[in-house]
Amino acid sequence: MRTVVDASVAAKWYLPEPGGDAADALLAEAAAGTGALLAPDLLVPELANVLWKKVRAGECGAADAGEVLDLLEDDCPTLLPSRELAPRALDLALALELTVYDGLYLAAAIESEARLATADAALARAAGSVLAEVVRIA
């Protein structure tokens, strides 16, 4: 099964957060070849921003944050160009009252005929109105 993951899910692969086991299960499916992970290329800078916030809050060190980005190199989903997803993302953002950033993940799922995995409750609710399957990581 193809799954678009957002940065909230990718962060749970590396940081001790609630929902880490469910996020890890998606990564394990991909590693076993029983699933494929996808994301808009926005995932990388968005995950880096999550790490920046964690460092600023004293929740992890700068070196640890750098290691997470190194680990992402091995675990990185197939990245889809945001430039190609942007028109649909804008339409979705306007129609569903999302940010365009969230619209990119939703557009990627629609374009790829994939489910969406997110820990973002608002995105999960909005995605449920247009996707057959949404995986809410709590």
44 within 8 A of 6, measured Cβ to Cβ? no
Return the pLDDT at 138.
85
133 within 8 A of 4, measured Cβ to Cβ? no
Distance of CA 83 to the CA centre of its chain: 17
Decide: helix, strand or coil at residue 78: strand
User: Whats the size of the chain, residue-wise?
Assistant: 138
117 within 8 A of 137, measured Cβ to Cβ? yes
**pTM of structure:** 0.95
Structural domains for the chain: 2-136 (3.40.50.1010)
Low pLDDT (below 70) residues in the chain: none
Return the pLDDT at 40.
98
